[in-house]
Amino acid sequence: MINNKQAVQNLARKLVEANPSNLNEPDNYVAHTGQVYDLAYGVVGNILAKYHSIPLNREEVSLASGLHDIGRPLQSDQIFHELRGAEYIEIEGLESTGFSASLRDRYRIAQMFRSHGCVYGFWQASECAEKRKEFEPLEDCLLIPRSWQEAIVTYSDLASHNGERIKVEDRMSELLNRYENDARYKDGIVVRVARAGLNRILELAERVEALEQGRLTEQDVARYGFL
């Protein structure tokens, strides 16, 4: 039987093969989907061990984490890949991942990863006004992680690097350094959006780690809510 992680990677490969010229390093992309799935699976397991009644579904959050970049192969322009991937799952469903889901389930899982990364910053940028039209109308409140599931997906993406778990602060520093020293991005929208969202992402990472380590009260846990 194919598990959800394998199914996610199979779907990623299928989309790469259907769109062979859209990604520069497709093998790394497929590997990353599995690595983020694994990290989220471990994070949620640690949380459930400390908060037994917390309404987190380990399989769902791990699946959403694995799917977070599923929109990348669909277009060579990677801006709004988060939205493109969420829309793909909402329309095409989750059967190919081995996860039987209703329409409500599909929309909930898509929302878990729609808001990852810096998508909100790109949505707000004037340079992206034309690109936004592909997804409008869309409420921008859906583009900032509002729930624990969304926060865990964003965290798992940024804390996973080449198969290892690293500090999100180190990952963001590495990304900013790379962009600022690349002529294609230097002083452009990518650097500006990443810098603008840095504090929010670091606060999110700190919050997820506090939950995973059992350092939050029941009131703290309830404050951020669940999808």
Tokens (6 digits) for 25: 């390093």
pLDDT at 58: 95
pLDDT in tens, 97-143: 766 678 899 999 999 999 999 999 999 999 999 999 999 999 999 99
Q: Are 174 and 143 in contact (CB under 8 A)?
A: no
pLDDT at 190: 87
Distance CA(95)–CA(182), nearest Å, equals 40
Place of tokens 């002083």: 187
Sequence-distant (≥ 6) Cβ neighbours of residue 111 within 8 angstroms: 86, 142, 150, 227
pLDDT in tens, 185-208: 666 888 899 999 999 999 999 999
* Vertex 221: Cα angle to 215 and 227 (nearest 5): 140
At residue 117, φ and ψ (nearest 5 deg) are: 70, -140
Beta strands in the chain (DSSP E): 160-161, 164-165
pLDDT at 100: 67
Among 69, 212, 51, 97, which residue's Cα sits nearest to residue 154? 69
pLDDT in tens, 136-190: 999 999 999 999 999 999 999 999 999 899 999 999 999 888 888 877 766 688 8
pLDDT at 186: 63
* Alpha-carbon distance values, 195 to 93, 111, 156 (Å): 34, 24, 19
pLDDT in tens, 40-99: 999 999 999 999 999 999 999 999 999 999 999 999 999 999 999 999 999 998 877 766
Band (pLDDT 50/70/90 cuts) for residue 1 is very low
